[in-house]
């Protein structure tokens, strides 16, 4: 057992960018008895959860929850707001933004991919050019935090460009919701998907979605009906309106515990304060990246594009062929799970989430210590990163 393994005993801690370690308030809810997912006792709880979700989106627009993975909520937005042969612009700079473009392809949209190198963000002036040349664009698709590369895309800058155009703005905020600034109304977003078990520190199973009035209008003005049921906003509209009064404003069963846990996590977030939580992520993210550099490693994105909630650490090319060993040693010896590279980045990076609970010294310090030891096992001697991290942090974090 390595030194840092001793901090956590036998339990593996999750330093991956989701699922994340649970907020203690969520852990408590998990041991409570089951409730029905409808009816008069349930409705106020569900409605309160929607209010909290809207507070995190910073919106007065309609918010609902889907009992699904995040991808289904993204697909619902694209299927419902984009008709076959309509034009969409997809900003692609990693695995998840690529997937959003693939969802648009699957709807039969004419997808214009605007790409940036892995580890960088698409420039907003490039988006401006593309929209000027394609004034008939129905929607722009973007990911706020590209979890696969640790890049925070500049959604407010893109939103500013979109204000001069008619296109709807569909945003995947799955790995940034509750962790990074979000202003659904002020930025003028139209469809945005949040998440429970990344920066919120809750369990998977319920996905908050915000839909603007402009998006509902666009939905009502469709020429064709979406050829789906569960991922059709019209079906959700129907159940919100017709079954809302009986406390079942959704078409299917949902997980009561997922909603109760979401509620507890969102309450904890608002108690900490949105700005405080965002600042904590920024501080810990910057201190972690600094420590990584002091150790002698590099991050994939430059400081300008770096995400405050997930860091992609580039592995030296000498270990690319067995880059996966870093993850294995971290897990088996230190009981710390870190993420690997997806698709083209397989074996070339590791990804570390510092989200909610794990955005703190008590999780980052052992992770840095374990990383040093892990690289040592692979024959690479690194400097100590712990001291650099601790010195960059305010007290008591």
Ligand X SMILES: Cc1ncc(COP(=O)(O)O)c(C=O)c1O
Question: Could you tell me how far CA 98 lies from the centroid of its own chain?
Answer: 15
Q: Does 143 bind ligand X (CB under 6 A)?
A: yes
Q: Does 175 bind ligand X (CB under 6 A)?
A: yes
CB of 175 to ligand X, least distance (A): 4
Tell me the three state secondary structure of residue 227. coil
Rounded to whole angstroms, how far apart are CA atoms 251 and 76? 14
Of 75 and 86, CB closest to ligand X: 75
Question: Could you tell me how far CA 380 lies from the centroid of its own chain?
Answer: 32
CB of 204 to ligand X, least distance (A): 7
Q: Does 18 bind ligand X (CB under 6 A)?
A: yes
269, 271, 273, 278: CA torsion to nearest 10: -30
Stretch that binds ligand X, among 67-75, 181-189, 290-298, 312-320 (CB under 6 A): 67-75
Interface pick for ligand X out of 107, 174, 329, 370 (rule CB under 6 A) = 174
Q: Does 255 bind ligand X (CB under 6 A)?
A: no
**Cβ-based neighbours of 152, under 8 Å, separated by 6 or more:** 121, 144, 145, 146, 176, 180, 305, 306, 307, 308
CB of 329 to ligand X, least distance (A): 23
- Structure letter (DSSP) for residue 306: B
Q: Does 305 bind ligand X (CB under 6 A)?
A: no
Interface pick for ligand X out of 59, 147, 153, 367 (rule CB under 6 A) = 147
Q: Which residue intervals of 244-360 are DSSP H helices?
A: 256-272, 274-295, 324-334
Rounded to whole angstroms, how far apart are CA atoms 206 and 337? 24
CB of 295 to ligand X, least distance (A): 26
**Per-residue binder mask for ligand X (CB under 6 A), 85-104, x = binder:** -----------x--------
The tokens 């060993």 sit on which residue? 325
The tokens 């569960």 sit on which residue? 230
CB of 209 to ligand X, least distance (A): 13
Rounded to whole angstroms, how far apart are CA atoms 254 and 223? 31
Q: Does 71 bind ligand X (CB under 6 A)?
A: yes
Q: Does 153 bind ligand X (CB under 6 A)?
A: no
Interface pick for ligand X out of 70, 194, 201, 208 (rule CB under 6 A) = 70
CB of 392 to ligand X, least distance (A): 26
Q: Does 59 bind ligand X (CB under 6 A)?
A: no
Q: Are 132 and 75 in contact (CB under 8 A)?
A: no
Of 38 and 184, CB closest to ligand X: 184
Total H helices, total E strands in the chain: 15, 15
**Site residues for ligand X per CB under 6 A:** 18, 69-71, 96, 143, 147, 172, 174-175
């Amino acid at each position: 057992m390595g030194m840092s393994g001793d901090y956590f005993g036998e339990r593996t801690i999750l330093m991956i960018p989701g699922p994340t370690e649970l907020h203690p308030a969520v852990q408590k809810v998990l041991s409570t008895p089951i409730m029905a997912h409808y009816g008069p006792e349930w409705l106020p709880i569900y409605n309160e959860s929607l209010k909290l979700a809207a507070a995190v989106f910073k919106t007065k627009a309609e918010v609902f929850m889907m009992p699904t993975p995040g991808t289904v909520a993204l697909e619902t937005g694209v299927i419902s707001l984009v008709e076959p042969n309509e034009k969409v612009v997809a900003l692609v700079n990693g695995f998840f933004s690529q997937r959003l473009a693939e969802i648009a392809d699957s709807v039969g949209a004419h997808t214009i991919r605007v790409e940036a190198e892995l580890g960088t963000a698409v420039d907003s002036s490039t988006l401006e050019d593309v929209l000027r040349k394609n004034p008939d664009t129905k929607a722009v698709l973007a990911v706020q935090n590209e979890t696969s590369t640790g890049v925070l895309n500049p959604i407010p800058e893109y939103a500013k460009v979109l204000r001069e155009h008619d296109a709807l703005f569909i945003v995947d905020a799955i790995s940034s919701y509750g962790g990074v600034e979000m202003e659904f109304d002020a930025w003028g977003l139209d469809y945005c998907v949040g998440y429970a078990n990344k920066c919120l520190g809750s369990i998977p199973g319920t996905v908050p979605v915000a839909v603007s009035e402009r998006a509902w209008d666009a939905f009502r003005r469709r020429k064709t009906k979406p050829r789906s049921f569960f991922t059709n906003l019209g079906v959700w509209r129907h159940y919100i309106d017709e079954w809302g009064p009986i406390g079942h404003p959704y078409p299917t069963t949902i997980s009561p515990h997922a909603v109760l846990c979401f509620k507890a996590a969102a309450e904890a977030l608002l108690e900490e304060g949105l700005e405080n939580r965002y600042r904590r992520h920024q501080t810990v993210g910057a201190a972690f990246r600094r420590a990584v550099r002091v150790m002698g490693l590099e991050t994939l994105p430059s400081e300008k594009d770096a995400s405050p909630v997930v860091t992609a650490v580039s592995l030296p090319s000498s270990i690319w062929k067995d880059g996966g060993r870093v993850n294995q040693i971290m897990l088996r010896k230190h009981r710390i799970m870190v993420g690997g590279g997806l698709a083209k980045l397989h074996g070339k990076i590791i990804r570390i989430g510092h989200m909610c609970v794990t955005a703190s010294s008590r999780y980052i310090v052992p992770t840095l210590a374990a990383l040093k030891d892990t690289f040592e096992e692979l024959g690479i001697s690194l400097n100590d990163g712990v001291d650099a991290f601790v010195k960059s942090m305010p007290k008591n974090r």
